[in-house]
Amino acid sequence: MKSKTVVMDIDGVLCKPHTYLAIEEGVAVYDAMVRNHPIIFLTFREEERRKETLTWLKENVDRFVTNDQLYMRIPDTTPDEYPAPEQKVDILQALMAKDEVLMVFDDSALNVKAFRDAGYTAYQTQKNDY
């Protein structure tokens, strides 16, 4: 039987927003999940930041993270015309069927609501004073 995939946002889940500081609790969740499940990273960061994002993930989360695990904002879109909640759900639906996803972790209440409305099990990470 194929293991279900865990989907993780980066900023606010693994990395403190607007910094390059890892969130220990988020990395610990990753460490626990990666033992038994494939992980994909679904971020609203711009595609132009792919190389730096992948480097950060390898240095702070798991040195074995691959480019194929990283899904970013669709190029040439803006948050106003194609908001994160809608875009993230569309990307995930294009990648895999709902029954292939174990759970989604995101720090945005709007994103979590969109994932849940689309039928995914989604958890909002606790917002901290970064």
Domain boundaries, given as residue ranges, for the chain? 22-101
- What's the confidence (pLDDT) of residue 20? 86
- What's the confidence (pLDDT) of residue 130? 43
- What's the confidence (pLDDT) of residue 35? 94
- What's the confidence (pLDDT) of residue 17? 86
Q: What percent of the chain has pLDDT over 70?
A: 96
Estimate to the nearest angstrom the gap between the alpha carbon of 98 and the chain centroid.
Answer: 16
- What's the confidence (pLDDT) of residue 126? 75
DSSP string, 81-116: TS-HHHHHHHHHHHH--GGGEEEEEES-HHHHHHHH
What average pLDDT does range 91-95 have in this prediction? 96
User: 101-106 and 5-8 as β-strands: parallel, antiparallel, unpaired?
Assistant: parallel
12 — pLDDT class (breaks 50, 70, 90) = very high
